[in-house]
């Protein structure tokens, strides 16, 4: 079977010959001072070097009100503060990766949203879309037999990026009509732009939607609030992609165990990455949801970065065998992404252990 067939079957929880493999990385891991110094060949992408089953083929577009805006506010040798097209002022490290510090936001109330940021999102803008990149990505996926995916953020992450956590989380309770309008405007925008992209360039095999619903201690809002204000738009977006024949994978960081039933209600077909360091356990989740979801991830990076082969084997082999016993559909992936503290040899060993247990 091809990678494309294997992932398609796993996502539909159909019989297949083995589990799948995919991965994400910190930039430093594959950078010149990371794995290349340990023997990783810099002239080949990890999707092909490690023979992953999934290939990202593009489709991510700038959904801000003013795409392309990136104004420097302040800069030193170590960091840069910039203001983007959502009106967010963010502080980035210049010499290492990391989540930016939130300095400030302009769109902090419905009045500013309606006056400045809502209107530019109502029109279809072809310049947001990378048609040629999508064409090349799809061609490569078809040539190599890999399962092709596009991806993007959606409303929960876009509220975080536009309004800021300290503003949008209280607004879920205090300004629900603003939240509904924000979500509806972005839902309509996504449907228009992806309809245009797919009709002109062709479809991928599936979609990734990135929505960090949780942090290390639990979800950012209750399941009840999620169902009332966020679920309707998630369901409509997933339904839109399903109408194109595309299964949708949800990436959601943190401890999201309490909102997994909402994820299922939204129609997502696979959950990724299930952070072990936030309390998630793919085996426990599979016991309850294996008939409704496929799973991708949960290989604990805090175990991998011990670079201890016995501990790595126990982590990878234990979870893989338990999932097979449960009859759950699974794709190997770290519980978020691979940091440079994990050596190239340790990661290769983890893959070796997984693949020796992955046949079904």
- In the structure, what pLDDT confidence band is assigned to residue 358 with cuts at 50, 70 and 90? very high
* Residues 87-110, mean pLDDT to the nearest whole number: 96
Q: Whole-model pTM above 0.95? A: yes
pLDDT over 90 percentage in the chain: 99
**CATH class of domain segment(s) 3-67+114-357:** alpha beta
* CA atoms of 249 and 149, how far apart (whole Å): 9
Asked whether the predicted pLDDT for residue 354 surpasses 90, the reply is yes
Pairing of strands 330-332, 294-296: parallel
Domain ranges of the chain: 3-67+114-357
Asked whether the predicted pLDDT for residue 42 surpasses 90, the reply is no
Residue 17 is predicted with a pLDDT of 97
- Any idea of the CA torsion for 5, 8, 13, 15, to the nearest 10 degrees? -10
- Any idea of the CA torsion for 148, 44, 349, 328, to the nearest 10 degrees? 0
159-171: per-residue pLDDT in tens?
999 999 999 999 9
Residue 175 is predicted with a pLDDT of 98
227-268: per-residue pLDDT in tens?
999 999 999 999 999 999 999 999 999 999 999 999 999 999
DSSP annotation of 263 reads: H
For residues 225 and 185, the answer to whether their CB atoms sit within 8 Å is no
């Amino acid at each position: 079977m091809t990678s494309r067939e294997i992932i398609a079957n796993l996502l539909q929880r159909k019989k297949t010959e083995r589990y799948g493999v995919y991965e994400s990385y910190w930039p430093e891991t594959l950078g010149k001072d990371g794995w290349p110094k340990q023997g990783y060949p810099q002239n080949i992408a990890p999707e092909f070097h490690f023979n992953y089953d999934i290939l990202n083929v593009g489709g991510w577009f700038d959904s801000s009100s003013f795409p392309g805006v990136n104004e420097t506010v302040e800069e030193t040798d170590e960091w840069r503060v910039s203001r983007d097209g959502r009106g967010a002022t963010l502080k980035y490290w210049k010499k290492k990766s990391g989540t930016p510090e939130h300095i400030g936001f302009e769109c902090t109330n419905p009045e500013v949203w309606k006056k400045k940021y809502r209107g530019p999102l109502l029109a279809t803008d072809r310049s947001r879309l990378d048609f040629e990149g999508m064409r090349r990505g799809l061609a490569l996926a078809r040539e190599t037999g890999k399962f092709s995916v596009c991806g993007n953020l959606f409303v929960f992450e876009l509220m975080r990026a536009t309004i800021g956590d300290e503003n949008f989380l209280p607004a879920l309770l205090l300004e629900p009509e603003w939240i509904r309008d924000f979500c509806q405007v972005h839902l309509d925008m996504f449907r228009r732009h992806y309809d245009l992209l797919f009709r002109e360039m062709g479809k991928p095999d599936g979609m990734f939607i990135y929505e960090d619903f949780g942090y290390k201690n639990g979800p950012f809002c209750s399941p009840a609030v999620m169902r009332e204000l966020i679920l309707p738009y998630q369901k409509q977006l997933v339904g839109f992609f399903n109408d194109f024949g595309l299964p949708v994978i949800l990436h959601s960081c943190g401890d999201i165990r309490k909102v997994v039933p909402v994820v299922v209600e939204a129609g997502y077909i696979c959950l990724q990455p299930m952070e072990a360091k936030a309390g998630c356990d793919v085996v426990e989740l599979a016991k309850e949801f294996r008939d409704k979801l496929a799973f991708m991830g949960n290989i604990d990076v805090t175990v991998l970065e011990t670079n201890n082969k016995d501990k790595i084997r126990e982590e990878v082999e234990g979870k893989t065998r338990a999932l097979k016993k449960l009859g759950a559909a699974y794709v190997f992936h770290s519980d978020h992404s691979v940091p440079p503290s994990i050596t190239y040899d340790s990661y290769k060993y983890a893959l070796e252990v997984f693949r020796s247990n992955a046949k079904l």
